[in-house]
Amino acid sequence: MRITRMLGAALLALGLAAGPAAADSSPSPSASADGDAPTRAGSSFRTATEIEQGQSATASGSTGDYLYWSFPADTGQRPTVRATVKLPATHGSETWQLDVYDGLRRRQACQYGAQTRTAAQGAASVELACVLRTVRGWSEPWADDPLPGTYYLRLTVVDLAAADLGQPVSAEVRADSKDIGGAAAVDGTLGKPLVPGIAAKSAGQGDGSKTAVLSSFGRDDGWSSGWWSDRWVWTGIGAVLAALAGIGGYVLTRGSGRPSRVPPTV
């Protein structure tokens, strides 16, 4: 009975500990579409239009233009970016490509998804997608692992007939993430997320002038990079189970403490 009570209490504790971990692994909530969604794209990394995860952004341009957006991604998230390009009524075969870069402007590989697609002659639209690797809290300097910070989207046509160059097109992009949690945790953290660039902010003189300051983010700004992850919860669960197994094995093998047979009397 004592062993049964111990097992019951341990299972209850494990359930309470696993609750937050299960909640952390659920997909991140998506932002609802509203009138504040961006309706234009940048023409370079420095002018990339900022969007939030779960927010759709649209832009108009011409074939041959480079369209740029940026969005934030944090440790433990696996971003998925999608783009839909609406093509003119009359056009030849066109190949479009969606590239993703991190805060250091390193091109990130896609785990899966069609980031390059060819639209047949007269097709109304083309859809592109890229599922990135899970963002890590830390990486070796020589590696190109995804790290927390800003990510850039670049959408452009890479192959088309000369007669189709400059035709009007419209694009819609969206970035979402799935929270992977402690399954992708590493023993390390960045000093600061990779959020490069210059942000123009009001200088406060009252004359509308602006001054350039370096973008900077830290733990107080909502970034979760650090030593804690739900991997510690599951490590604790494993330790408790191992301890219970040791106690159970000891109780089962120690016997009653008395000899099984009484020696014959002389």
pLDDT higher than 90, residue 76:
no
pLDDT higher than 80, residue 215:
no
d(CA 158, CA 168): 16
Average pLDDT for 241-259 = 74
pLDDT higher at 123 or 32: 123
- pLDDT at position 169 is 95
- pLDDT at position 200 is 39
Residue type, 31: A
Average pLDDT for 68-88 = 93
Contact by Cβ (8 Å): 38, 58: yes
| DSSP letter string, the chain | -HHHHHHHHHHHHHHHHHHHHHHHTSPPPPPPP-TTS----BSSSTTPEE--TT-EEEEEEETT--EEEEEEE-TTEEEEEEEEEEPPSS---EEEEEEEE-TT-PBPPEEES-SEEEEPTT-SEEEEEEEEPPPPS---TT-----SEEEEEEEEEEE--GGGTT-EEEEEEEEEEEE-GGGG--S---SS-B--SEEEEE-SSSS--EEEEE----GGGT---SS--THHHHHHHHHHHHHHHHHHHHHHHS--SS-SSPPPP-
d(CA 88, CA 14): 58
Q: Could you report the per-residue pLDDT of 168-183, keeping only the tens digit for each?
A: 999 999 999 888 765 5
Contact by Cβ (8 Å): 157, 61: no
Please tell me which of 31-40, 125-134, 230-239 the model is most confident about, judged by mean pLDDT: 125-134
Owner of token pair 């998804």: 113
Average pLDDT, whole number, for the chain?
75
pLDDT higher than 50, residue 145:
yes
d(CA 240, CA 242): 5
Q: Could you report the per-residue pLDDT of 104-126, keeping only the tens digit for each?
A: 899 999 999 999 999 999 999 99
- pLDDT at position 129 is 96
Task: Work out the percent of the chain whose per-residue pLDDT is above 70.
Answer: 63
d(CA 101, CA 231): 28
Average pLDDT for 247-258 = 71
- pLDDT at position 7 is 46
Average pLDDT for 41-63 = 93
Sheet holding 56-62, edge to edge: 56-62, 168-179, 77-86, 125-132, 110-112
pLDDT higher than 60, residue 184:
no
- pLDDT at position 203 is 37
d(CA 134, CA 136): 6
Q: Could you report the per-residue pLDDT of 185-208, keeping only the tens digit for each?
A: 555 566 667 776 544 333 344 444
